[in-house]
């Protein structure tokens, strides 16, 4: 039980990847506070997790992560109910409006930034004082495909996801001296409610190419959410202590023994949002010129 006696907050945990992470944490021995906006779904998930619990606490707190007041309440209640906080998994997110930028409702576009980017920042901002006080902590931020490649017709989602990855890298350096690790996870293409949204929106809104890729994903099953959940367990465990400031792909990166290569990897820009360094670019620029 890799997370025995650990205490974690998991946002967006009523369904999809958040629910998979919550299940993996409970199985690994952690006590958890799960939160989401939908109270009914959240309480149903709490009941499911209590069935597999071995005595670890499962607390459900309905929360809108874009609200500073509700986030403050979440963190305070989690600290009180669990007797401490060791891990924050900032997972809650929405796809937001879909289509060409100039056709999108501005409020819906702005709301996506409020939830995905600012909501993630709010969660981190509220938990940091607790982590600094105890001189340790883990923050795990869930990224997405929008962070590492362009996503036409999903501009709000892509911008928010790229933003939280750079935020996580920045925060990791800000908190390094306090023994607080900050990591981002790219979970892969999951067959969750996000995929249903794409298929329901149709090719005219999401683009014909992306729509066809999504149809194939629905047929093949996509990436298993359990893979990203296992990565989240690993990063929250003592084995990954000191691993910080990186973006790890659950699907593509060999993360199972990442700790064996620290602190060497910490000194490089591997697993980060980055430009290729000049010495690597030189030969290609010479060929082009």
Q: State the pLDDT confidence band at 284, using cuts at 50, 70 and 90.
A: low
Note the pTM of the prediction, 2 decimals.
0.91
Secondary structure of the chain in the HEC alphabet? CCCCCCEEEEECCCCHHHHHHHHHHHHCCCEEEEECCCHHHHHHHHHHHHHHCCCCCEEECCCCCCCHHHHHHHHHHHHHHHCCCCEEEECCCCCCCCCCHHHCCHHHHHHHHHHHHHHHHHHHHHHHHHHHHHCCEEEEEECCHHHCCCCCCCHHHHHHHHHHHHHHHHHHHHHHHHCEEEEEEECCCCCCHHHHHHHHHCHHHHCHHHHHHHHHHHHHCCCCHHHHHHHHHHHHCHHHCCCCCEEEECCCCCHHHHHHHCCCHHHCCCCCCCCCCHHHHHHHHHHHC
Predicted pLDDT of residue 279: 60
Closest of 93, 50, 52 to residue 187, by C-alpha: 93
> Which tokens sit at 43?
């309480």
Range 173-195 average pLDDT: 91
Opening angle at CA 253, ends 156 and 234, nearest 5: 90
Q: What is the pLDDT of residue 124?
A: 98
- Bridge partners (DSSP) of residue 59 are 33
- The Cα–Cα gap between 212 and 121 comes to 34
* 196 — pLDDT class (breaks 50, 70, 90): confident
The pLDDT, as a whole number, for residue 114 is 96
Do residues 41 and 14 touch, judged by C-beta distance below 8 A?
yes
236 burial (CB, 10 Å; 0-12 / 13-18 / 19+) is buried
- Cα separation, 2 vs 53, in Å, equals 14
What is d(CA 213, CA 24) in angstroms, rounded to the nearest whole number?
A: 29
Q: Give residue 201's pLDDT.
A: 85
Average pLDDT over residues 34-58: 96
User: Which tens digit of pLDDT belongs to each residue from 207-248?
Assistant: 889 889 889 878 888 889 999 999 999 999 999 999 999 999
Question: 288 pLDDT band (50/70/90 cuts)?
Answer: low
Q: Which tens digits make up the pLDDT trace of 39-50?
A: 999 999 999 999
Residues 6 or more apart whose CB falls under 8 angstroms from that of 85 comprise: 7, 8, 9, 75, 78, 79, 127, 130, 131, 137
Residue-wise pLDDT tens digits, 112-121: 999 999 999 9
Residue 142 clears pLDDT 90, i.e. is over it: yes
Q: Which CATH number fits domain 7-188+224-288: 3.90.79.10, 3.60.9.10, 3.40.50.720, 3.40.109.10?
A: 3.40.50.720
pLDDT of residue 192: 78
Q: How confident is the prediction for the chain on average, in pLDDT?
A: 91
Q: Using alpha carbons, list the distances in angstroms from residue 95 to 92, 106, 112.
A: 11, 14, 7
Return the domain boundaries, the chain.
7-188+224-288, 194-222
Report the pLDDT value the prediction gives residue 195, as an integer from 0 to 100. Answer: 82
Q: Is the pLDDT of residue 280 over 60?
A: no
CA pair distance 40, 192, nearest whole angstrom:
18
The pLDDT score that the predictor gives to residue 35 is 97
């Amino acid at each position: 039980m890799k997370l025995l006696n650990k205490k974690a907050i998991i946002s967006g945990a009523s369904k999809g990847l958040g629910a998979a992470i919550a299940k993996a944490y409970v199985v690994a021995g952690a006590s958890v506070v799960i939160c989401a906006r939908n109270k009914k779904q959240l309480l149903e998930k709490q009941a499911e997790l209590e069935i597999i619990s071995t005595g670890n606490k499962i607390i459900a707190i309905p929360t809108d992560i874009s609200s500073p007041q509700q986030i403050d309440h979440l963190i305070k209640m989690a600290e009180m109910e669990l007797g401490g906080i060791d891990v924050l998994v900032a997972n809650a997110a929405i796809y937001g409006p879909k289509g060409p930028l100039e056709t999108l409702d501005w409020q819906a576009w702005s709301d996506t930034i409020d939830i995905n980017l600012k909501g993630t920042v709010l969660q981190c901002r509220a938990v940091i004082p607790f982590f600094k006080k105890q001189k340790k902590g883990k923050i795990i931020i869930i990224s997405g495909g929008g962070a590492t490649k362009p996503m036409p017709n999903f501009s709000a989602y892509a911008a928010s996801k790229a933003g939280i990855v750079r935020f996580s890298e920045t925060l990791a350096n800000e908190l390094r001296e306090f023994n607080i690790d900050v990591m981002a996870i790219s979970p892969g293409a999951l067959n969750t409610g996000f995929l249903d949204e794409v298929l329901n929106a149709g090719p005219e809104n999401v683009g014909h190419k992306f729509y066809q890729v999504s149809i194939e994903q629905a047929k093949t099953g996509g990436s298993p959410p359990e893979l990203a959940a296992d990565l989240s367990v690993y990063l929250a465990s003592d084995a990954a202590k000191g691993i910080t400031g990186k973006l790890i792909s659950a699907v593509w990166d060999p993360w199972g023994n990442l700790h064996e290569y620290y602190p060497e990897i910490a000194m490089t820009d591997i697993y980060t949002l980055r430009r290729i360094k000049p010495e690597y670019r030189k030969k290609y620029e010479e060929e082009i010129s």
